[in-house]
Chains A and B, each alone.
Chain A
Amino acid sequence: MIAALTSLTILGLVLGLILGVAARVFRVEGNKLVEEIMEILPGSQCGQCGFPGCAGAAQALAAGGAPVTLCPPGGRSVVLELAAKLGKEVNLAGVKDSVPKVAEVKEELCIGCTRCFKVCPTDAIMGAAQQIHSVFRDACTACGKCEEVCPTESVKLQPIPVTLHGWYWHKPNLQVLRNIPA
């Protein structure tokens, strides 16, 4: 009887040790992919993708329930990064990045209601009650929340004008290269 007791005890201890070590060595910290996707997303929680904030979108992306092209403020670069992260093929043709936009306040229409200023997820709008509001262009992600709440249609997303600083050569469009059979 003593032999049975000792052997079972030793067996239990050894197996317990193995389980304990395995739990330490092969520990899984939440879903790493979701966190990595969160890093890529803009984090402005604008909700344009239809998910509750960037965390929701990240979970959906990680689960494969959302296309990589879901984030309008992110533009092409986010799409490319997401596609690389998730190992997906992506067709950039459908991604609307051709006209980057930025919010602009039409000063003659602004009544200083502070609604846009309160919803802006990146503090890109400066204003106070009864004062004309104004947009910091560098901080605006063109999420469009301000446009939705503005009672006088004073805040509108406008395409960013192309300047010398941002201009670059278009891609060579060589019809002839495509028409000739290889």
Chain B
Amino acid sequence: MKLFKLRGGVHPESRKELAADRAIRVLPMPEYLYVPLLQHVGAPAQPNVNVGDKVLKGQLIGASQGVISAPVHAPTSGHIVAVGDYPAAHPSGLTAPTITIKADGEDRWLDTEAVSDPFVLSPDQISARVAAAGIVGLGGATFPSAVKLNLSRKNNVHTLIINGGECEPYITCDDRLMRERAAEIVEGVRLIRYAVGAEVVMVGIEDNKPAALAAMTLAAKNTEVKVIAVPAMYPMGWDKQMIKALTGREVPADGRTADIGVLVHNVATAFAVRDAVRFGRPLVSRLVTVSGGSVIEPANLEVPIGTLVENLFQFCGGFRNKPARMVLGGPMMGIQLASAAVPIVKGSSGVLALTDSEIGNVQPSPCIRCSSCVRACPVGLLPLDMAAHIRAGDSSAAVTLGLKDCVACGCCSFVCPSHIPLVHYFNFAKGELMEQERVKLKQESTKKLAEMRNERIARIERERVEAAAKRKAAREARERAAKEAAAKVVTETA
């Protein structure tokens, strides 16, 4: 099949060999699990359990609230020991609402409703099951999958693309999943296709994963699913890049993929969809790659959601030497962890412990305007100019240059010969602009409140004056009547 030419992109060293040949192992159930209520894009889940409650594996502990939201479930059986704040897997190290479960060691599943043939379900039933299972985009974007399914059906999506790009260095969890559980993935893919009514189904896999390609091609034989090798390049796993490579079409800047009739899901999401639809099992665990130069025994682990990152490192034999940096996710887009005592969430594809030589710790120097970043940018932006404006304190000029289209893939920072932290500038500016927008919204609403209050005070005053006038009139009328009556009495007696 003909592939289409892509813009930008970089070729970082893949370093996938550290963990690629290690088969999936199941992490022993840790004693405590810390399940955050917000593991997805949208509104956080609403807890529906109390401290002391006993829960079974797969039981709903946080209900979805709002249009874009996802529920969370107990990853094992045990009892709730805390509902409150716990440090989140976030570069700030701040806390987030979290439910803490003490495992009872039995790991007993809730009775779930399995169907022998999921294809007899209606598309609506499938998305309802996906929504109830709390499935979100497992590639890292964590957008609630059921919302995507419903949107796609409404927009008459004709092409379903399954993303097996996994372009981040080190990360191999999708690779292992495709090698070991290809048949299940293909069934999940077919279920998604059935649910959205797409005509074309393509699975894009980078050509640096020949074993996964072979396994998936075999599993997809005699089905409507087409497995296609795409060139290994970062950021191939970015959904819009994958769409461009496979269909040649570009998603409009302010649009969604559904606007051009395409739906993209990750391979791990397809796997989770199959579990949810066929067995009624919610998303309570995921595959996580543990890798990096400091890790003694890199691994691909099946990990219950809410496991602490430090448990994963311990299981992998601990550290060879003190890691210079711990990262959640891949080295290009992942987040730096201040502490390993933070929980794995639905969107965590890997945890890395990197040595000094693996992280670029070079001091930045001035921009030489070589435009390497412009050539590397997959979106077609001007990172050097955007960063210069932001450095000078003019974020709005960066917006004019397309800051809002930046996906923070990190290609520009990666290629910069002056080691300027370009993406850091963009993340800062995006945050600052969001903050300004929030403040503006608040000001608009408080302004309305102030106006309403002034109107109310004026109205009360007006009513008071009117009431006083009315009382006065009534009193005068009464007095007049009394006087007249008195006069009448006087005349009558006279």
A residues neighboring B (CB under 8 Å): 42-45, 74-78, 80, 92, 100, 121-124, 138-141, 162-164, 166-172, 174, 176-177, 180, 182
**Pair count A-B, CB < 8 A:** 95
A contact residues around B431 at 8 Å (CB): 167-169
A contact residues around B454 at 8 Å (CB): 45
B405 within 8 A of A: no
Q: How far is the CB of A175 from chain B (nearest CB, A)?
A: 9
B325 within 8 A of A: no
Knowing A168-B432, A169-B428, A170-B428, the reply to whether A176 touches B364 (Cβ < 8 A) is yes
Complex Cα–Cα for A44 and B449 (A): 8
* CB pair A164 B443 closer than 8 Å: no
Q: How far is the CB of A162 from chain B (nearest CB, A)?
A: 7
**Max count, chain B CB within 10 A of own CB: residue among A44, A140, A169, A170:** A169
Contact digits for B86-104, partner A, Cβ 8 Å, 1 yes 0 no: 0010111011100000000
* CB pair B428 A123 closer than 8 Å: no
* CB pair B432 A167 closer than 8 Å: no
B158 within 8 A of A: no
Which one, B94, B365, B452, contacts A177 given CB within 8 A? B365
Complex Cα–Cα for A124 and B447 (A): 12
* CB pair A138 B442 closer than 8 Å: yes
Number of interface residues of B (CB under 8 A): 41
Nearest neighbor of A141 in chain B, beta-carbon distance: B446
A contact residues around B92 at 8 Å (CB): 162, 164, 167
Complex Cα–Cα for A74 and B450 (A): 14
A contact residues around B435 at 8 Å (CB): 166, 168
Complex Cα–Cα for A164 and B447 (A): 26
Nearest neighbor of A91 in chain B, beta-carbon distance: B393
**Max count, chain B CB within 10 A of own CB: residue among A45, A76, A121, A177:** A177
Q: How far is the CB of B428 from chain A (nearest CB, A)?
A: 5
* CB pair A43 B364 closer than 8 Å: no
Nearest neighbor of A170 in chain B, beta-carbon distance: B428
List 11 A–B pairs whose Cβ atoms lie within 8 Å, in order of A's numbering: A42-B447, A42-B450, A74-B443, A123-B452, A141-B446, A164-B92, A168-B427, A171-B390, A171-B425, A172-B421, A177-B365
**Max count, chain B CB within 10 A of own CB: residue among A92, A122, A166:** A122
B contact residues around A177 at 8 Å (CB): 364-366, 391, 420
* CB pair B436 A78 closer than 8 Å: no
* CB pair A168 B434 closer than 8 Å: yes
B464 within 8 A of A: no
Nearest neighbor of A40 in chain B, beta-carbon distance: B443
Complex Cα–Cα for A96 and B96 (A): 28
Q: How far is the CB of A145 from chain B (nearest CB, A)?
A: 12
B contact residues around A76 at 8 Å (CB): 436, 439
Q: How far is the CB of B399 from chain A (nearest CB, A)?
A: 13
B112 within 8 A of A: no
Q: How far is the CB of A149 from chain B (nearest CB, A)?
A: 16
Knowing A169-B424, A174-B364, A177-B364, the reply to whether A162 touches B94 (Cβ < 8 A) is yes
